[in-house]
Amino acid sequence: MYRRLFYIFPDKESVLQVISELRQIKIPSSQMHIIAKPGSDMSDLPEATSWQKEDLHSKVETYAWNLNLVLFSIMLIVFIYALSFEATAWALIAGLIMIACVFAGYQYIHIPSLSLNEFKAAFQHGEILLMVDLPKNQLKKVDDYIHQHHAEAVEGGVSWTSEYSKM
């Protein structure tokens, strides 16, 4: 699983410079994505795909979380009915599924997450969002580099992503 770093930049020139420098430290262009206000001139920049702009990860997370809650609720009802009718096997199965739901929920809250809705105000002000997809072992190097060399960069957070989200 990759992590996605988010940075807000005030103008296109700043982003072009950062992208050029990231390429020099061996971060491929395919791992960098730009989102800006609709109608902005983003030529020469690695524009985000329509899937990335639609914030698919947030939608998947929301659906998965809701599905987990619904499944847990159904299994709780099954568990209560199974206990009242002394159906031990059904109660055990429902209990195990509820434990799996709790474990999945625990894992969910420990995955870094960020929604693009948090950047709407920046887009309205003409600022540009740079997203950089990296394996965990490169996060600190890139984050430190950007902070040391680009005071104008505003850190927007970290989220999860996959290698396949670059399509």
What tens-digit pLDDT sequence spans the chain (167 residues)? 788 899 999 999 999 999 999 999 999 988 999 999 888 888 888 888 877 777 777 777 788 889 999 999 999 999 999 999 999 999 999 999 999 999 988 877 766 667 777 888 888 888 999 999 999 899 899 999 999 999 999 998 888 776 655 54
Q: Measured between alpha carbons, how far is 157 from 167 in angstroms, rounded to an integer?
A: 22
* Structure-token match 């809705």, residue found: 117
- End-to-end CA gap in the chain: 15
Residue 51 CB coordination number (10 Å): 13
Q: Which of 116, 124, 128 is nearest to 45 (CA)?
A: 128
